[in-house]
């Protein structure tokens, strides 16, 4: 399956199993701009695959109301950049309801916010906000990197019962891979994507694939890199990261999001505090993503940069 097909299959399976699961957002009735809802409107009809007007605040606000009333909405924001128009509904309403009402009300929604640089889409369509949402109490934050994880983590998010910010990458929709329906991936559990003994490299989302390519090259130079795909940003798998870093005694964190105040800083600080070992982090520069390819490349974390950090 492709990454998009895997997400669609997980959602379709959930909608068949539970009448409370609905999808709403712009273009979902036409299959979504990345094809991740293709065919769902034909199967489930407009009452459960709901095309919405171009108003992110309205879409998210309606979804919060649906969730409080007993439904399990999947909210399509098209790209994470557009979700900034729905921050109050997501951060002040969805995230806080369970706490403010003493557990009497819950908001079991999944907000799909595609992140990352989208080639040729420039500054307003190429941002990664996972650290923003990890900072908000009450939100679960997920960032799948493979078709398998886009299937199983979306299933886990739908079963979570709390609001989930589900961050698929805009440049992974066509990525192909085998998907095993009976291979669960619980939230909060990282995956060792490559075993190694010399340095631990922690990453997530599209950066995983760049990291794995760098680890392969590093092996040719005699450097054994253990690559951890975090998968869930919050809650993050402290135990898996600390166990690996204790073994290798070196940590490198790599993410596409801006390095300044990125979530990599939380991981690096935790490992430094707990283990006292050398840590480094790589992320994007604090600049808007450029439209032209050379400027866009300046905003990316390159293989060369990662390779240099591994050698250092």
Same fold? 3-166, 191-311 = yes
- How would CATH label the architecture of 3-166? 3-Layer(aba) Sandwich (3.40)
pTM of the entire predicted model: 0.96
Top-confidence residue, 118 or 152: 152
Confidence band of 117 (pLDDT split at 50, 70, 90): very high
For position 38, what pLDDT does the model report? Answer: 96
Residues 218-247 have a mean pLDDT of 97
Q: Taking the domains of the chain in order of start, what are their residue ranges?
A: 3-166, 191-311
- How would CATH label the architecture of 191-311? 3-Layer(aba) Sandwich (3.40)
Q: Tell me, yes or no, if 209 is annotated catalytic.
A: no
Residues 165-175 have a mean pLDDT of 97
Confidence band of 185 (pLDDT split at 50, 70, 90): confident
Residue 104 has pLDDT above 90, yes or no: yes
48 token code pair? 């459960």
Confidence band of 184 (pLDDT split at 50, 70, 90): confident
């Amino acid at each position: 399956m492709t990454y998009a097909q895997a997400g669609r299959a997980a959602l379709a399976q959930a909608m068949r199993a539970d009448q409370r699961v609905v999808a709403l957002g712009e273009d979902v009735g036409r299959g979504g701009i990345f094809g991740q809802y293709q065919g769902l409107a034909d199967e489930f009809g407009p009452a459960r695959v709901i095309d919405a007007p171009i108003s992110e605040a309205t879409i998210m606000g309606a979804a919060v109301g649906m969730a409080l009333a007993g439904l399990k909405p999947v909210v399509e924001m098209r790209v994470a950049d557009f979700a900034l128009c729905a921050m109050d509904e997501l951060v002040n309403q969805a995230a806080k309801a369970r706490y403010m009402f003493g557990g009497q009300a819950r908001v079991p929604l999944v907000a799909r916010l595609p992140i990352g640089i989208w080639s040729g889409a420039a500054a307003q369509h190429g941002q990664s906000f996972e650290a923003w949402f990890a900072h908000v109490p009450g939100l679960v934050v997920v960032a799948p990197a493979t078709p398998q994880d886009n299937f199983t983590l979306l299933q886990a998010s739908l079963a979570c019962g709390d609001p989930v910010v589900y961050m698929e990458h805009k440049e992974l929709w066509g990525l192909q891979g085998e998907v095993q329906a009976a291979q669960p991936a619980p939230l909060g559990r990282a995956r060792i994507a490559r075993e190694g003994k010399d340095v631990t490299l922690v990453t997530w989302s599209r950066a995983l694939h760049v990291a794995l390519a760098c680890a392969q090259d590093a092996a040719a130079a005699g450097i054994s890199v253990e690559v951890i795909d975090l998968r869930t940003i919050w809650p993050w798998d402290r135990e898996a990261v600390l166990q690996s870093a204790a073994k290798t005694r070196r940590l490198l964190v790599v993410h596409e999001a801006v390095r300044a105040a990125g979530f990599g800083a939380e991981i690096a600080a935790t490992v430094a505090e707990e283990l006292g070992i050398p840590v480094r982090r790589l992320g994007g520069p604090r600049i808007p993503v450029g439209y032209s390819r050379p400027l866009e490349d300046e905003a990316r974390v390159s293989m060369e940069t990662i390779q240099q950090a591994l050698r250092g």
